[in-house]
Amino acid sequence: MRNFKQLFVCFFTAITFYACQQDTYLIEKEEEGVTDPEKTDVVGFYLLNEGNMGSNMATVDYMDFTTGTYNRNIYATVNPTMVKELGDVGNDIKIYGNKLYAVINVSNFIEVMDARTAKHLGTIPLENGRYITFANGKAYASSYAGPVTIDPKAPLGKVVEIDTINLSVTRQVTVGYQPEELEVVGNNLYVANSGGYRVPEYDKTVSVIDLSTFKETKKIDVEVNLHRLKKDADGDLYVTSRGDYYNVPSNLYVLDSKTYQIKKKFDIPVSNFTIVDNKLYYYSNEFSYTTFEYTKTYGVIDTKTEQVINKTLVNDPVINEIETPYGIAINPQTKDLFLTDVGNYVSMGYIYCFDKNGAFKWKTAAGNIPAHFAFVYK
């Protein structure tokens, strides 16, 4: 979900949504052939469409590589006895074992589905849930632990541990303010804290949680308003700061998970990224309250050398059609690149696919605010 840097944009968008409903509609279950079939160990992906806050429009799509078919809004069809839509703001989606987990932020739960069919298996209550990760048979999910509102007195956030067999919360720990993405390295869980509700008093720390005791053992100072956090093959942590949207710019940092020290500050804005085979693929759509404008950039970083090796993702001019980049993913086998475009956040978005050489392959309509990917293996 977008950070509250865009509160102004959210309010404007909400007004526009209700004023323009004749142009905005929920796509019923649809199938569209978009490309030739592929036969690899990666058979498809789920795409979680966030849906605009307050609209109850979170949906799940499925791209079937074995048939080349894109399937929109599959949840309602697979689960005819459930509420038609998933809920309010789909914030993260991941597969662990044979289960598919979707964090539904404003609706305060995690939807658990069968990873092969998307059939409903259960729900896990979680107030203002954000992101989820997994290790050793457990799920770990971050939570703002309070209502969705800008508040200088917003409470500290938390991380919950979930048993992936019975889908129950087994432990929880208090972390920093408004925690976001999280990763497990060794016996530690690392959590990026944003403090986004407490603007301008942002948090600037990464919490370190010992998984044996499930207690916070350390906070690492990085920069204000942290968001993305992902590990590379060596266990180093790449962490993004959104900045303060005025004088502190967005930035990307590398943390050494062994020494807890900042290894590198890249001095580049990064909104979202993914790491595959020692390469970090990123984009930035940096917002400034000074200019009320967004600035788009793309690039690739070699995580072994920690150097920017390309200041674009693809050379195909089709990428310039993307108005508002949002979701990003790389097929771990074919290395195809997927980017989503949320446009004005009100209309239905699009997904673009480029091959490993940067050539445009296909584009299709998705749901409202297409955002989060989960690849499915054989």
Does residue 163 lie within any of the structural domains? Answer: yes
User: Residue with structure tokens 């036969």?
Assistant: 39
Instruction: Report residue 147 as tokens.
Output: 């209502």
Give the three-class secondary structure for 271. coil
- Within a domain: residue 160? yes
Q: What are the structure tokens assigned to 122, written together?
A: 């259960």
Structure-block tokens of residue 358: 């940067």
Tokens coding 217: 């053992």
The b/e string for 331-361 (b: 16+ C-beta within 10 A; e otherwise) is beeeebbbbbbbbebbbbbbbbbbbeeeeeb
Is 169 within a domain? yes
Q: How far apart are CA 247 and CA 223, in angstroms?
A: 13
Identity at 83, one-letter amino acid code: V
| Within a domain: 51 | no
What's 130's domain CATH number? 2.130.10.10
pLDDT tens string, the chain, 378 residues long: the values are 445 444 434 433 443 433 343 344 444 679 999 999 999 999 999 999 999 999 999 999 999 999 999 999 999 999 999 877 799 999 999 999 999 999 999 999 999 999 999 999 999 999 999 999 999 999 999 999 999 999 999 999 999 999 999 999 999 999 999 999 999 999 999 999 999 999 999 999 999 999 999 999 999 999 999 999 999 999 999 999 999 999 999 999 999 999 999 999 999 999 999 999 999 999 999 999 999 999 999 999 999 999 999 999 999 999 999 999 999 999 999 999 999 999 999 999 999 999 999 999 999 999 999 999 999 999
Residue type, 301: I
CA distance 320 to 358: 13
Q: Give a yes or no: residue 149 inside a domain.
A: yes
Question: How many domains in the chain?
Answer: 1
Whether 136 maps to a domain, the answer reads yes
Contact 349, 340 (CB under 8 A): yes
Domain span holding position 169: 126-278
Within a domain: residue 340? no
Query: What token pair was written down for 329?
Result: 């993913």
Q: What is the DSSP letter of 166?
A: T
Whole-number Å distance between alpha carbons of 191 and 205: 8
Task: Using a cut of 0.85, tell me whether the model's pTM lies above it.
Answer: yes
Residue 102 lies in a domain: no
